[in-house]
């Protein structure tokens, strides 16, 4: 595999949101202002040209819009990059969920077997992850791609590529992803089939160095 034969796909989790600790899924929270200003201060003057795909939720879209404007990158919103929808519990501070704690603990242990009320089920979410992954692979055919998304999306993609058991809660506990961290995946084609190599997982944005 020569350097010219592969593309780089970068999955960036959004920065810390301006929201109480919660199951933050489709609730459209903005970014923490201090975290956003700090991130802006770490961006280099120039970055290699690439495509930019983003979740439509504000905590991702705001970062993507800044990158698109600053580096003149084409940007596309993909609705399927949204975080998992946690239904009636979505966005509710954990301090308000004390009466439902046993239900939450069952969900955290076996999320596929114990869906939350009115929430997107984990099998439905993982099916969505697989669909959007195919779109990301297609987007990377002719350019490097930066994807601004959520922790659930990144974990779902890693579970897919590692053939991990995504039905069990311990998988998600073992994959900590800091806000703003970057996961880097190398993609190339062999006999017309996409091949993947996970190069780096959850590198803090302060330490990540973009390479063309």
Residue 115 contacts residue 121 (beta carbons within 8 Å): yes
Residue ranges of domains in the chain, CATH in brackets: 3-203 (3.40.50.1240)
Q: Which two tokens stand for residue 162?
A: 């590692």
> What digits encode the pLDDT tens for the residues 19-40?
999 999 999 999 999 999 999 9
- Residue ranges in 47-150 assigned as alpha helix (H): 58-71, 101-109, 122-139
> What digits encode the pLDDT tens for the residues 149-194?
999 999 999 999 999 999 999 998 889 999 999 999 999 988 888 9
pTM of the prediction?
Answer: 0.95
Query: How far is it, in rounded angstroms, from Cα 190 to Cα 25?
Result: 36
E strands, 16-160, in order: 51-54, 75-77, 145-149
Lowest model confidence (mean pLDDT) among 101-115, 152-166, 198-212: 198-212
């Amino acid at each position: 595999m020569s350097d010219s034969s592969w593309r780089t796909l970068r999955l960036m989790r959004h920065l810390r949101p301006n929201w109480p600790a919660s199951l933050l899924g489709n609730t459209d929270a903005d970014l923490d202002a201090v975290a956003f200003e700090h991130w802006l201060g770490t961006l280099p003057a120039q970055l290699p040209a690439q495509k930019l795909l983003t979740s439509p939720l504000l905590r991702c879209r705001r970062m993507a819009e800044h990158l698109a404007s600053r580096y003149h990158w084409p940007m596309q919103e993909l609705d399927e990059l949204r975080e998992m929808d946690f239904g009636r519990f979505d966005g509710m501070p954990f301090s308000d969920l004390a009466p439902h704690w046993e239900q939450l603990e069952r969900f955290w242990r076996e999320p596929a077997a114990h869906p939350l009320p009115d929430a997107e089920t984990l099998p439905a979410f993982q099916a969505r992850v697989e669909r959007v992954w195919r779109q990301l692979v297609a987007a990377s055919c002719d350019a490097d791609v930066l994807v601004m998304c959520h922790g659930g999306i990144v974990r779902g993609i890693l579970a897919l590529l590692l053939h991990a058991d995504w039905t069990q809660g311990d998988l998600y506990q073992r994959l900590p992803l800091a806000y703003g961290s970057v996961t880097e995946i190398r993609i190339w084609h062999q006999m017309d089939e996409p091949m993947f190599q996970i190069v780096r997982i959850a590198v803090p944005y302060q330490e990540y160095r973009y390479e063309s």
